Amino acid sequence: MDQYLWVLKDDQLDLIRELEPARIALLDEDGLLSLHKRVRRARNKYTTNYRRKAAGEVSEAGGRGTAASKSDKARARAYVFEEALSIVSTELARVAHDAAEALKDERLERARAGKSAGPESSGSANTSIAGAGRVLSHQKTTGGIKRDASSSWQGAQRQAKKDGR
């Protein structure tokens, strides 16, 4: 990627400089999302520009192979931003995974301590506790809820059909 940086202008280079390991390590998940969005937008812009320019030159040059050599700068810009997007995406995935693991560990600790943050943790006396501090999140039914909903829907359909006559 470094060999293609000569084609970038100052504002484009500023965006690429934000991908330096020391600078990207300072960003949290929200900062990485913002950077990812800006890099993706730039990648889409320069890829689209390169493809449009190359497509326009195909008829003049007589073929795609000869037209491709005329748009080397545009192709280099698109390549740089494609590589930049790869770097940001990888870092964002790593940070998001770490955050998800931390949240999972926190929830497991709360569950082990019997302090569930779920809807059943309101302190009602009707909740049943099974095992190591786990609150059951469902009630045993006879299957009537689905059957009632289906029957109600079918009745509404029959009525609509009769009303349409």
84 Cβ contact list (under 8 Å, min separation 6):
1, 15, 16, 19, 39, 42, 43
The Cα 128–Cα 151 span in angstroms is 31
Higher pLDDT, 27 or 151: 27
CA distances from 105 to 21, 28, 36, 98, 110 (A): 28, 19, 27, 11, 9
- pLDDT 10s digits, 23-46: 999 988 899 999 999 999 999 998
CA distances from 56 to 43, 44, 47, 62 (A): 20, 18, 14, 11
Higher pLDDT, 164 or 98: 98
The Cα 34–Cα 4 span in angstroms is 24
**Domain housing 91:** 2-19+28-114
Structural domain contains residue 165: no
Structural domain contains residue 11: yes
pTM of the complete model beyond 0.75: no
Structural domain contains residue 140: no
- pLDDT 10s digits, 59-98: 777 776 666 666 678 888 888 889 999 999 999 999 999 9
The per-residue pLDDT for 125 is 47
Structural domain contains residue 152: no
Place of tokens 């301590």: 113
Structural domain contains residue 127: no
Structural domain contains residue 39: yes
Domain count, the chain: 1
Over range 135-157, report the average pLDDT.
68
